[in-house]
Structure 1
Amino acid sequence: MVKIKGYISSNFTKSFLTIFLPFFMIISLVYLVKISALTERIQITFGELLLLYSYSIPDIIFYTLPLSFITALANVLIKLSQDNELIALYALGLPAKKVLRTLLLLGLLFSLLLLSISFLAMPLSKQFYNSFRQEKQAEAKLNIVPGTLGQKFGNYYMYVKEKNEDVLSDIVIYNRTDKAQEQFFSSQTGQIQTKENTISLLLDEGYGYTYSQNKLQQVQYKTLEVYNNLTSGGFKFEDIATYWGQAKTDAKRMHRILFFIFISLIPLLSVYLIASFTMINPRYQSNRSFLVIFTTTLLFYAIASSLQKWGTPLSLGLIIVAFVIVGRWLFTKRISKYF
């Protein structure tokens, strides 16, 4: 019996890796394209690109693993059936439900893995990703390029002739407070400062001009501090309990929980359902594995999408119970009744 379990597990592993790895690579390319689109707004190095990609790995695994499991399960059972190996096991006195126990155990392990990824890894990776992007966007908005017009610092437009690290030279700042009034500031030197998560530009020895239709005012200053509307390091991390605890008041996050639970349970819920149509007698039944995979996947993900939009804990519980009952009933009627 131990050898039979090992043989079934070995066949499933080969089939699963053959399917999972191409899916993983394809979805990875999609995420890399999405990440590379950020370079239109922020500058990132190749190492930072890989770091952002690593934050996406939990999502990639979560969305590719259930489909890979369904496909691998259907393929391995069809292969064992067409090679008459299942028939040989039945002839040796091993009933179909015992053959399926190894695959049920694998389905349970995969479901536990998906639950861990969705409720532990994905919230953390999402927060790391958002924190990194927010920090880079703030840096991009403060990346003053000498000799370039139209650069913004908060609500101000500014021009800088020269820049040496954080020290700026020959600075001109323009701000239009309303339709009838404009402001100009000029300074020989200045520097960007960050204090208590507040970003400002400190100007030294300059002049300020306020212009309206009726008058022009001039002021000479020794130092002038211009504040940006950005803050540095403002992203707040939440622990897992706090993150999911918001589901009590946030309906969107509650629906997300229902979606994650159902998707995570797909490997376990699909075993009896897939086996009911892929454990066949090749002499009398045709191979319809492609139709089984397509229909089952479409059904599971359609229900998951509905739960994400309109689901409730009660509806999730009823759907899970329904899949268990229907799966066992189909397996008993089509397979274990005869084998």
Structure 2
Amino acid sequence: MPTLPLDLLRSILDYVTENQFLLATFCLVNRDWYRAAIGLLFRHPRISTRNGLMTFTKHLDPSHVDFLTSLDLSADRVREFVDNGTLQRITSVFERAAAASPPCRGRLESLTLNRCGKIMDTGLVPLLAAAGHSLLTINLEMCGNITAGSIDAIATHAPHLQSLSLYWTNRLTKRCLNLLPTGCTDLRYLDLSMCQWVVDDTVMLDICSMMSLRVLKLSSCHALTGRALAALTPALPRLEELRLAMVSESTDAEIAAMIRGCGRGMKKLVMLEATVGPDTVRAIEECLMGLELLNLRNAVGVEERMIRAWKEGGVKEVVWREEQADEEVTDEEME
């Protein structure tokens, strides 16, 4: 039966990449349709159910490794079934692909395992060793059983990493990031919000050495003091966004020192529940007049006249009351 050229078939199938069932059906038409559809099917697999997870791990084989660019196992009806065995099966496929002739190491760029609470180092570390060489993004939010061994594996096996989220991963230790500055030299995004193991040493000895950081989130890291925050911004000249919360224990002078250390590229500064004293006000006026967003929700000491002065000075948006923050979230959700 005559068929369309392969490139044209792929262009047509690009319009149905959201429909995994349809792509799988196209794989059964004939050999040419299989060749056109299989890469799209495994490029960004959409796994939304337990059955979908089982089907994916059952049918994934070494010939698919070169297609797979993102893997997200964090869907609501999936993550509770993701365990070390799941990761080990995926790792085995990557290892067999690397041992094949010709070898294929794959090009996985994004790995998302948010809230996969059953995974441990024994499952994650081998996967990072097998597939980490091409990873740009790793999301491990609320993975409560991983330890410093996984972070060491990231630093060792993911040299091109640009984005790492460890939100609320509380089995880690204060110096678990010590290999990242030299292992992941292009790390641009780091989320450590709600991580109670983050202390002053974490910031001053490790994070301050991550010279490529653009976005840093340290919200609700309660053990941090103003001393570490004051040292942070001068050490990270490329920082564009800094998010802090519960910084009420920091002094006016410490917050002001942090602000004065911000580079000219700073675009968004969030300091929830901060103490805004005279020195902080002067620092904002002197250093942050080009900000896109200044969020001081629930901050102590903010007055209407300050807001007006900051806006007149060049700050595009200032949030400082609860209702403003609610409106901001609503707008983001609408987008």
TM-score (norm 2): 0.20
TM-score (norm 1): 0.20
Larger helix share, 1 or 2: 1
Specify which structure has the bigger relative contact order, considering alpha-carbon pairs within 8 angstroms and separated by 6 or more residues: 1
Larger strand share, 1 or 2: 1
